[in-house]
Copies of this chain bind each other. A is one copy, B any other.
Amino acid sequence: MTAQDPANAPASAPRILVVGSGAVGGFYGAKLAEAGAEVSLLCRSDFDVVRTQGLHIDDLGKPRQFIPHRVINDIADYPGWPDYMLVALKALPEIDVATMVAPKMGPTTTILLIQNGIETEIPLAEAFPDNELLSALAFICVSRTAPGCIARTDYGRLAMGRYPNGVSERAQTLGKLFEAAGVPCAVTDNVARARWRKLVWNAPFNPISVLSGGSDTLQMLEHTPTEKLIEAVMWEVLAIAEAAGCPLKPEVVAKNLADTRKMVPYKTSMLLDFEAGRPLEVEAILGNALRRAEALGIAAPHMASLHGLLSLLDANNRR
């Protein structure tokens, strides 16, 4: 048995510190605690509420309460260092994750980064070359509904792998913990490809939902010029991914379009962020992929158009 085996709890329960305890971090932290891990939260905005009442989770209609092992608002207050540093912050250029977690990165601390976008792992990999870095994608509809309250309305699965590639014992351990708590977790040996695969959807739908004046998925697909734009962006993502060494099957384009048409029309997470006046993940979703495209000599004029518009809109929105 390893120190990370949940069957060994509480003495050998893995110690997890969740950094960025918004909806995503709070939800997955709660799940890991259910599976027997010792989960602490680093909270900023909702610190007082969460410290006294824990997190209230409306999980697909079922109410749950999560009382974290510790709730802190200064990372220095965490004793020792965690086995896992679960980072679920928005992927924004102004958030320096490496500096934020550095005080509690012990020699055996593994980072679990749950974020959208491409190549957001790089600053962490550079800052902590001797620590294991697990990269994960969350397929989930979850949002903060009030201070200390979050609601999951759909999905929940994770895809996870070691960065830049491969599978490790720690990835397997964490995957089993998530599965034990009812969270499907696909451990992959090529998380970079999984990220490009998810970008096929994110790169068109998230920006276009905002730029077209607040459209849901069905409005975007039913308006022919926009549908064509969505498909054109998807092909550009495939071309960049292939040049970057992560070829995807061409069928993913048709599959993404067909699957989205089948779903109840909904607002993308970027549109919800925009409507709430929050910063947008422009660089993680478009900018990083475009820089990769430029370095590889791949043309992506539709994505460049979205980036030119969305980056200025985001700048205007922050003013």
Question: B-contacting residues of A (Cβ < 8 Å)?
Answer: 208, 211-215, 219-220, 223, 225-226, 228-229, 232, 301-302, 304-309, 311-317
Contacts and interface: CB of A to CB of B under 8 A. Distances in A.
A225 B301 contact: no
Contacts of A225: 304, 307-308, 311-312
A286 to B, nearest CB: 9
The winner among A213, A219, A302, A304 for most chain B CB atoms within 10 A is A213
Contacts of A306: 305
A212 B316 CA distance: 8
Given A226-B309, A311-B225, A214 B316 contact: yes
Given A225-B307, A301-B302, A312 B219 contact: yes
A214 B314 CA distance: 11
Contact of A304 (B223, B302, B307): B302
- The main secondary structure of chain A at its interface with chain B is helix
A307 B302 CA distance: 11
Contacts of A309: 208, 211-212, 226, 229, 309
Given A208-B309, A223-B311, A302-B305, 17 more contacts: A213-B316, A213-B317, A214-B316, A215-B316, A219-B312, A220-B312, A225-B308, A225-B311, A225-B312, A228-B308, A229-B308, A232-B304, A301-B301, A301-B302, A302-B304, A305-B306, A309-B309
